[in-house]
Structure 1
Amino acid sequence: MLHVVLDEQGLDDIEITMDTRFHDDLDLESIDLVTLGGHLTACYGERVNFAEFLAGLELEEIIYLRVGRLAAYVAGCLRDAGEG
């Protein structure tokens, strides 16, 4: 999903790791995070609430958000949804 968002910006050749930062490394702006959130909702439905995740973060945490932290959040949501 992240590659889709990056491809829309012509940045499809960037290597992404768990330590990749959305803002500093990928140069994604808030509107790009909204787009990513839309892709997450389309794929996982209400099990992954990206807006709620972001709302629970401080501004500095959002600025320095890493792919690994988002991946852990998504995995946790899916694991929790499987338990219910």
Structure 2
Amino acid sequence: MLQIQNEQQILNDVRTMIAGIIGQDVDLNDQEIALDTSFNRDLELESIEFVVLSEQLQNRYGKDIDFAGWLASKELQDIINLRVGDVVRFIEQCH
């Protein structure tokens, strides 16, 4: 399992994952992925893309990252309003 050093490192990892997942559909050169980037409004991530992100997070950070379980525990409105920073903080809390 990879040891996490800081928020910026996690953000860079998540950015890379997102770019790999949606890079075909969204021109990331026109859009900076930051902590306040919305998965719904800004990135228009679909549910299957969240599944892929969940798998990539577990592959990168280990079994302690239950992203799918974390999402399942949230209310629909919270998922709709989910931001990249929420995922970064979740990863930080798991380690």
Which range, TM-score by smaller chain?
A: 0.7 to 0.9
- Does residue 5 (structure 1) correspond to residue 21 (structure 2)? The answer is yes
Q: Which has the higher contact order (CA 8 A, sep 6+)?
A: 2
TM-score w.r.t. length of structure 2: 0.75
Give the aligned partner of residue 23 of structure 1.
40
Number of residue pairs matched? Answer: 78
Q: Distance in 1 between matches of 2:71 and 2:27?
A: 23
Q: In 2, distance between residues paired with 1:5 and 1:11?
A: 12
TM-score for the superposition, normalised by structure 1: 0.84
What is the aligned partner in structure 2 of residue 81 from structure 1? Answer: none
Q: Deviations over 1:12-45 (max 9, x none)?
A: 3221111100011001111111111111011112
CA distance in 1, matches of 2:48, 2:91: 20
SS of equivalent residue, structure 2 residue 86: helix
**1:8 Cα deviation after fit:** 3.9
Matched, 1:77 2:68: no
Q: Which residue of 2 aligns with 1:42?
A: 59
Equivalent-residue separation in structure 2 for 1:24 and 1:37 (angstroms): 19
1:10 Cα offset (Å)? 4.4
Flag the structure with higher helix content: 1
Unmatched 5+ residue regions in structure 2?
Answer: 1-16
**Unaligned segments of structure 1, at least 5 residues:** 79-84
